[in-house]
Amino acid sequence: GAGVSQSPSNKVTEKGKDVELRCDPISGHTALYWYRQSLGQGLEFLIYFQGNSAPDKSGLPSDRFSAERTGGSVSTLTIQRTQQEDSAVYLCASRAGTGNQPQHFGDGTRLSIL
């Protein structure tokens, strides 16, 4: 079936605006993750959803960042009042089964804050 799908692939916005990034995981995958890839910080974990459990938000860098996962499928990552340091590639991954199964990544959304 289809892999992890992310949209948009590129987003350019002005500082201070809000942005929403979307992730469509692989069908049937119960776990969904958001990561951020930037030059200065490498690959960083942001947030993790597993089934109906409360999400692990321990990687969110500030309260401007939030995420939802509706109906156990599609997820939206929202960044409010964007700052230039938010510029990065935002990656979504999904996983079946337990933590020793591999995560499968989407192609990411490249976010540029002017």
Partner 1 sequence: GNSVTQMEGPVTLSEEAFLTINCTYTATGYPSLFWYVQYPGEGLQLLLKATKADDKGSNKGFEATYRKETTSFHLEKGSVQVSDSAVYFCALSFQKLVFGTGTRLLVSP
Binding site for partner 1 (CB under 8 A): 31, 33, 35, 42-43, 45, 48, 50, 56, 59, 91, 93, 99-100, 102-108
Burial-class residue 76 by CB neighbours within 10 Å (0-12, 13-18, 19+): middle
> Residue 15: enclosing H or E segment and its boundaries?
none
Q: How far is the CB of 113 from partner 1 (least distance, A)?
A: 21
Q: How far is the CB of 108 from partner 1 (least distance, A)?
A: 6
Q: Report the alpha-carbon distance of residue 35 to residue 93 in Å, rounded.
A: 8
Nearer to partner 1, 80 or 96 (CB): 96
Q: How far is the CB of 100 from partner 1 (least distance, A)?
A: 4
